[in-house]
Copies of this chain bind each other. A is one copy, B any other.
Amino acid sequence: MLSVVMISTGEEVLYGDITDTNAAWLSAQLFEQGFAMTRRVTVGDNYEALAKEIEMCSLSADIVIVNGGLGPTSDDLTAASAAMAANVGLEQSNAWVDEMTAKYKQVGRVMPAANLKQAMLPEGAELIDNPVGTACGFMMQLNRAWLFFTPGVPSEFKVMVNDQILPRLKTMFNVTNSKVCHRLYTYGLSESGISDLFQSLTLPETCSLGYRSSLPFIEIKLFAPQDDCQVPILLGNMIELLGDNIVGEGCDLLNTIANLLTDDATLVLSEQSSGGFAVNWLQDVSSLSARLVVSEVMADSIDEQACVEELSTLIALRAQRLHLHAPATYTLTTGPSLTEGGFMLGLSTPDGCWCQQLMFKRQYNNYNRRWIISTVLFDMLRRHLQGKDVFGCYESLDRVASEHL
C-alpha cells in the first residue's frame, strides 16, 4: 500500500486556533481517488523543524503533500525548508515572476518586491501553476517520496490539488481503484445501531463504508468503484435496512424538504423550546427561506403540567392564530420546554395536524437540544411530504404522547 503523508504548517494550525479544513478536504479527495492518507503531521513556522520533517517523511513515504508557508512574508519558510531538506539552493523561476507581474498588471497594480520571494523555488523543483493566486506550488523527488508543495489558502489549495496534483498522482502511481462516494443521511439511529442493521449486508471487497456523525445526523458513505454493477443492489439494500430514518439520499434533511415541496407551498414557524434555531437553520437553504411567510419565537418557560390534550389544543390554537395573520401551507410549531427534558412539536398541513410530545433520553447542552428539537420538527414535515408515518422512531428520544387531528 502507498504511504501518503500530509504535512501542515503554521502556528495557527499547530496550536489548534484554526481548524485544518484543508486536511479534511484533502483526505476525502485522496480517498475517493484511491489514495488513503496514512499520516498527518503539523509543525509551526520553524525553518529547521520543517526541513527535518520533510526529510524524515521523504524517507518513509511515497507521497508527501506539504501545505502552507508559500506566502510573501518572512514567516513563510516552506520553499527554503524544502531546499534545506534536499540540500540544494533556491533559484528564481522567471516564468513565475512573469506570471505574477501579469496578474498584478491585470488589476492595475505594480507587483510589490516582497512577492519575488514567491518565485524562489528549490533547484530542480518543477513549478505547479496556481491560476488563482500568487503562491505557486512545486513538486520534487526526494529519497523515496514525491513531494508536492501547496498554498495554505483553501480556495487556491483545492484548485491546485484537483487540477494539477491529483491528475499527476493518478498517472505517476497508476492507481486504478478510484472510487465514487454515495451518501445517505440518516437521523434517529446511532452509529452502533446502524452497524447492527448492516450486519446482514455483504460488502463486496471493492467497496467500503464510512460514517461521519455530525450531530444530530449520521452520514453514511459508501465508497465503491465507478460503474460497479453491484452498487445499485447494495445501495438498495442499505436504503431498505435504514428505512424511514433516511432523511436524504445524496443531500441533507433541509435540501430533501426543499426538493419535495410543491412550487406554491409556504411555511410559517412558531418556536418556543427551539428558540429560533429552526428559522435560522432554514436560511441556509435559500429555496426554503424564500417560502417563509413569517416566524415567531416566544420566550421559553418550563411548563410542568402539559399533557397531550393541552398540547394539541395549544398547537391547534397557535396554528389557527398564525393562519389568520399569515396563511401558509405548513405551520411548524415547537411548544414550551417540559420538565425532565420533554418538548412538544406540531405540524399543521392541509391534510390535518400532527402533534407529539418527546423526551430526551440523555442530557444535551442547550445548543444541541435546540438543534435536535428543530431536526425532529423538520423531520415531521419531511415524513409527511414523503407519505410516511409523521411520528418516526428515534433512538435517543422517547415518545410520551402523540395525536393526529
Contact = CB atoms under 8 A, between A and B. Distances in A.
Interface of A: 14-21, 23-28, 31, 37-44, 46, 49, 53, 56, 210-213, 269, 275-280, 282-284, 286, 289-290, 292-300, 366-367, 370
Contacts of A286: 366
Given A38-B44, A289-B300, A295-B297, A212 B17 contact: yes
Tell me which of A23, A279, A292 has the highest count of chain B C-beta atoms within 10 A of its own C-beta: A279
Nearest to A17: B212
Contacts of A18: 213
Contacts of A300: 289
27 contacts: A15-B27, A15-B31, A16-B21, A16-B23, A16-B26, A16-B27, A39-B41, A39-B49, A39-B53, A40-B41, A40-B42, A41-B42, A276-B278, A276-B282, A276-B295, A277-B283, A279-B280, A280-B280, A283-B366, A283-B367, A289-B299, A289-B300, A292-B299, A294-B297, A294-B298, A294-B299, A296-B297
Contacts of A15: 24, 27-28, 31, 37, 210
A311 to B, nearest CB: 21
A247 B25 CA distance: 34
A295 B54 CA distance: 55
| Number of copies of this protein chain within its complex | 2
A297 B277 contact: no
A42 B31 CA distance: 17
A56 B40 CA distance: 14
